[in-house]
Amino acid sequence: MALLPVTPLLAVSLASRGGNYESRLHIAELQKRGDWAGLESYAQSRITQDPKDEDSWILLGYSQLQLGKTAAAVESLMLETRLSPEEIDGWNLLAEALRLAGRHEEALRALDYATAIDPTSAVSKFLLGEVY
């Protein structure tokens, strides 16, 4: 069960989730360097400032997936999907985290939500194939 490169699984780039220009630049630089621990720390500091910022939860879950912290990513992304149930990236990332955790039935349920948001999503369809 190899970890997929998560970036193609996102409909919106990580950097666009930064809010202001400096934040977007910082996120892009962390991603470019592959500094997932730095991105995790940055996301956690943003969550401390605003626990309801769904973009920060996406950043946190994404970085945790890259670091192999699957259980933590599941927890972060579950919270993100409660904060922003219409966000397809949250559901797709949650499905990937659940798949990596061996929780295939739950991954399928997450993908049900994702496909309800966008029935044409190639990412959701790809992930369905990965789960099966």
What tens digit of pLDDT does each residue of 75-110 get? 999 999 999 999 999 999 999 999 999 999 999 999
Residue with tokens 């202001």: 20
Measured in residues, the chain has a length of 132
Cα dist. 62→35, 38, 100, 132 in Å? 12, 12, 13, 22
Please answer whether residues 100 and 1 qualify as being in contact, where contact means their C-beta atoms are separated by less than 8 angstroms. Answer: yes
Whose tokens are 């559901």? That residue is 91
Residues 93, 116: Cα–Cα separation, whole Å: 15
- Give DSSP secondary structure letters for 83-96: H-TT-HHHHHHHHH
Q: What is the pLDDT of residues 38-72, one digit of tens each?
A: 999 999 999 999 999 999 999 999 999 999 999 99
The encoded tokens of residue 121 equal 């999503």
> What span, in angstroms and rounded, lies between the C-alpha atoms of 79 and 70?
14
Predicted local distance difference test score (pLDDT) of residue 8: 57
User: Is there a contact between 88 and 98 (Cβ–Cβ < 8 Å)?
Assistant: no
